[in-house]
Every structure is written in C-alpha cells, then in structure tokens.
Structure 1
Amino acid sequence: MAFNPTRAIVQNEGCDLHYWYQGNGPLVTFIPGGNGHGRQFNPIIAALSDRFTCVTFDRRQMSASKVEVNKKLSPPQQARDVRAVIQALGFGKSIIFGSSSGGIFALQFAHDFPNMVDHLISHEAPTATLLPDASEVFEWMLHLMEVYETQGLDQAAREFRAELIGYDDEGVPKTAPPEPENPRNFWDNEFPILIGFTPNLWRLKENRVSIGVMRAVRCKEAFFARTTVEQAKILDCPHAVVPGHHQGFEVETEAFVPYLLDMLDTLEKKRSGGV
C-alpha cells in the first residue's frame, strides 16, 4: 500500500507524543531506537498496512515529541509512552516491534505491561551486560562517553559508527537521518543510561510473554547482534537471522517483511502449542 498515514498527538507525562498510523487489523507498534524518530518505519508500515494497523511515533525528547526540559532516559517512562500511544488508538494490546534501544524499551514494556503484549519482536536490542565479553564492551562504552565529553559529538559518533557494520555495503540504500538535535539528546541523556540497563528477562520468561528476537545478517559480530543469542538463551524464545543491517527493516524492507511475518507465525504456533 502507499504510505498515507493519519497523524495525531497524545500527551503523556509532560510530552506531546507525535504518532502516526495506517491500516486495518491487529495493531503493530513500532518503537524507534537511539535515533529517536519514527520515520524509519514508514516503509514497513506501508508494506504491512494491508493486514495490520501499524503505528509508530517520535520518542520523547526526539524529533517532533518535545518537552520543556530534556531529562535523563527512563526506560519505564518510555514503556509508559508506548502504552499511551496504544491506548490513544483504542487498543488494549499490540504486537510490539522494537529495534536497537527500541528493543530494550519493547522488553521493558513487556515487563511492565505483559497483558498488553500480543507478540513481541526485539531486533538487536543492545543488552550488552549479557555478553560473555560484557566487561570489555562496557569499558568501550565508557571510553565513548569520555570521547563525547572531551572531543565532542562528531568524534564519539564516528567511533560508534565503526560498530554499525553493513551500512556501507554496496547497493544498500541510505537510512533517513534523524533531526540534528536527536544525536545530542542521545549522547547527553540516553547513552549513559543504556550502557548498563537490561530489562528483567527472567521475569518476562516467568510471565510467559510471547517473544522472538532477531539478528541482522549484515551486522556480523557487532555486539548488538551477539546480544540476541544471549537473550534467546534466557528467554528460551525463537531466534532469527534476518536480512539487512541494524536498520534493515527500513532500507531492505521487501526482503525483511517475510521474516517478520514468519516470526509472528512461529510465535502464534508456539503459543497455541503447535511448535
């Protein structure tokens, strides 16, 4: 379908959350990661809106969703923002898709509001504390924070981008850039929290939340790709290797969509006892 969404705003905890939606059927909520803007999901919304109601949004303090004073990231508050968007559309539950730190917020949403989750797909959530080499990755992140504080955003982003494998592969389209203020908010207020935050995956397993995790093939051994292996071990959930890089759902959408649909089918069969 052509991309032609309805746009709206819902106010939650001092933030006007700008969201947009399209389609009919069960709700799929797409949660942005560190770049903050929902535009990255516009292609997949267009691709899926013939069978789902698809919604995404600009996260608080990002793009159109402004606040009076930016504050440090609270993953539980991000989860409450997701709840506000879902409820604004009149739904009691949703399929949840979160990528990168959006995957962390998706897992936190499932922790705090398990009854609002139909199925959840987490795409390369960077829960670095679960890795076998967690100490090394954590200290690399501390180094990046020091680079940001002493050498500035451009140098920190340059070093971080070296981990974003696959973005420069031949023939891969470029992703939509975030608004200029988004990276500053990410480094000021989000990165320092995210380097040590992991939702309680054991509680998610205990609550029997329907979850699948995805790892992008172009990311190879990037730390956020490897975290999915550890997540699947703890959650005892389906794990898929999918097309594209860390934002493959945006720029290789046609190849990505069948894998998303297959994961949803797998989760539905698992819940009904079919697998």
Structure 2
Amino acid sequence: MITTASVHNEGAQIVYDHQGSGPLLLLISGGGGDAARHRRLAALLAEEYTVVSYDRRCNSRSSGDLTRNMDMAQQARDAVAVIHAMGHERAYVFGNSCGASIGLELAAHHPWTITKLIAHEAPVMSILPDGRFWQTFMDGAHDTYVKEGDVAAMKVFHSSFVGFEESTVARISAENITPNSQFFLSREFLPITYYVPELDRIRANGVAVVSAAGSASAGAFYARTAPIIAERTGCPFVEFPGNHIAFINDPEPFAQALRDALR
C-alpha cells in the first residue's frame, strides 16, 4: 500500500510517497521531478525496502517558489528533509539523471545521510573531455525554449539521447510536455547542466557510491560521466540494463540490477 505524506522545508511543502518495509531507500527523480516516474520500480523493490520517492520542489504536488532557479544544494537539503520525515537519519539513495546529481551533492555535503548511493547517468558534463561542446549544445536547447517554446526545446534536448528508437524519442518528447515542463526548461535546465560535482570531496568523505550507466546508453554524454565519477571517487562502476529511463520502460531487469548494486 502506498502512503502519501509531506514535509515542510525551506518554504516548500515536499510531498512524498512510501511503501514496503525494510531499510529505507530514497529514489530521487531527474527532469520532470516527480514520484510517479518511480511507481513501477518502487513496487518491485518494496518487498525488501521501505521505498520513498517524492515530488521535487515546484514539481507536481510539491510547492515552492516558481520564480527561483533550481539550487542543487537546496535540492539536497530537501532530500535530507524527506529522509528525516520518514524517521531515519540515513538511507540508501538511488538517483537517475539530475537525481544522480542531487545524490552527488548529498554525498559531498551530507555524507552522514547516505548508507550507499547509486548514481545512474548523472549529466555532469563538466567532467567530460568534451564538456564544453555539450554545454554549448545544452545552451542551444535552452535558447530554443526561449525562442520557440517547450515542444521545440524538448525535441532538441532529446536528440542527445542514445539507446532509443527515433519513434520512441518522438513519443518521449511529446509525453514529457507535462505541467512540470515549463519549470524544468525555465528554472532547472541550465542549473542542472552547469552543476559541477565535488568528486574529490565525496572521495574524502568515504561515502559508499556505485556509479552506473545503462548498456544501451553507450556513447551518450550522460553515460560517459559514470566511469569518470567512479575513477575520481574510488567507487565501482556498474553497467545497468537498458537506456536512460529503463527503470520506467523496463523496470524488472533494472530493479534486479539495482538490488545487486545496493547489496
């Protein structure tokens, strides 16, 4: 059974869902920012873990200041607030995409809250040898949003995806025009792409981390970050099945890979 609750943190009401029993496992969403993306994955993991996922501030059911740009440090503090609201001091953490970046921020500045972090395809392009190229690409996608709107911008953004059929990318682009899209493109997109993780600090903190990328994501900028994160933090690199959002479109094998990584 899914239970819904909320916690107030720094001017926002953060709404979260939880189910299952066992050690606490926090799932952090990337772009689009809500718990619904983890619904199928959470159900598969709930026999072994108390699984909690939440709508990030200003997304879906959670409130917040829609006029402010995303602050990665604040996002990490929101995650801490959810962990504490569940009555725990620490949790296993899984983050995909921007959620993985938030997980890295947690590991850098709130290491005591993490039992183990699984960072899946963090889009931290600043650590790539061709990071400047990809930042220019993302700046262009944002310019497209300003000039032509969300549909055109998502089309540009999703052209960087690897491991999807062209028709699937078109469908994803259409499906991702949600009530959260405007906030994502206007207030989250650039802060996410410009985020620089403090990998040396994470290593010094001694946080247990697994850096992961999907087998179908090979060559994608967001997957090429994973082995670099592993090397610089001194943690394992693990290949997961599927593409960037395999936890949504093929959750069973993804859930098994996540179980193995958590163990």
Question: What's the TM-score bracket when you normalise by the shorter of the two chains?
Answer: over 0.9
Check conservation: 1:63, 1:178, Cα contact below 8 A: no
Q: Distance in 1 between matches of 2:122 and 2:196?
A: 9
Q: Distance in 2 between matches of 1:97 and 1:88?
A: 18
- Is 1:221 matched up with 2:210? no
1:212 is aligned to: 210
Alignment-mate amino acid for residue 71 of structure 2: S
With over 3 angstroms needed to count, the CA separation of the structure-2 counterparts of 1:133 and 1:68, relative to structure 1, is: closer
Q: How does 1:180-219 map to 2 (within 5 A)?
A: 180-219=178-217
- Is 1:114 matched up with 2:124? no
- Is 1:145 matched up with 2:142? yes
Check conservation: 2:151, 2:177, Cα contact below 8 A: no
Over aligned residue pairs, what C-alpha RMSD do you find? 2.0
| Residues 148-173 of structure 1 deviation map (CA, whole Å, 9 limit, x = unaligned) | 1122221111011112223438999x
* Structure 1: 5+ residue stretches without partners: 266-275
2:246 is aligned to: 248
**What is the CA-CA distance between 1:247 and the residue it aligns to?**
1.0
* Structure 2: 5+ residue stretches without partners: none
Check conservation: 1:26, 1:94, Cα contact below 8 A: yes
Alignment-mate amino acid for residue 117 of structure 1: I
SS in 2 for 1:181: coil
| Residues 167-209 of structure 1 deviation map (CA, whole Å, 9 limit, x = unaligned) | 438999x879557221111111111212221220100000110
Q: Distance in 2 between matches of 1:8 and 1:70?
A: 25
Name which of 253, 259, 262 aligns with 2:260: 262
Q: How does 1:23-172 map to 2 (within 5 A)?
A: 23-168=20-165
1:270 is aligned to: none
Alignment-mate amino acid for residue 234 of structure 1: R
Q: Distance in 2 between matches of 1:257 and 1:178?
A: 23
With over 3 angstroms needed to count, the CA separation of the structure-2 counterparts of 1:89 and 1:224, relative to structure 1, is: same
SS in 2 for 1:138: helix
> Could you list the runs of 4 or more consecutive aligned residues of structure 1 that deviate by over 3 angstroms after TM superposition?
167-172, 174-179
1:233 is aligned to: 231
Check conservation: 2:23, 2:91, Cα contact below 8 A: yes
Say which is worse superposed, 220-229 or 52-61, in terms of deviation: 220-229
Q: Distance in 1 between matches of 2:63 and 2:106?
A: 21
Count matched residues: 261
1:272 is aligned to: none
With over 3 angstroms needed to count, the CA separation of the structure-2 counterparts of 1:236 and 1:36, relative to structure 1, is: same
User: Percent of aligned pairs with the same residue?
Assistant: 33
Q: Distance in 2 between matches of 1:68 and 1:79?
A: 16
Check conservation: 1:63, 1:182, Cα contact below 8 A: yes
With over 3 angstroms needed to count, the CA separation of the structure-2 counterparts of 1:170 and 1:216, relative to structure 1, is: farther
2:5 is aligned to: 8
| Residues 232-256 of structure 1 deviation map (CA, whole Å, 9 limit, x = unaligned) | 1111211111112111112211111
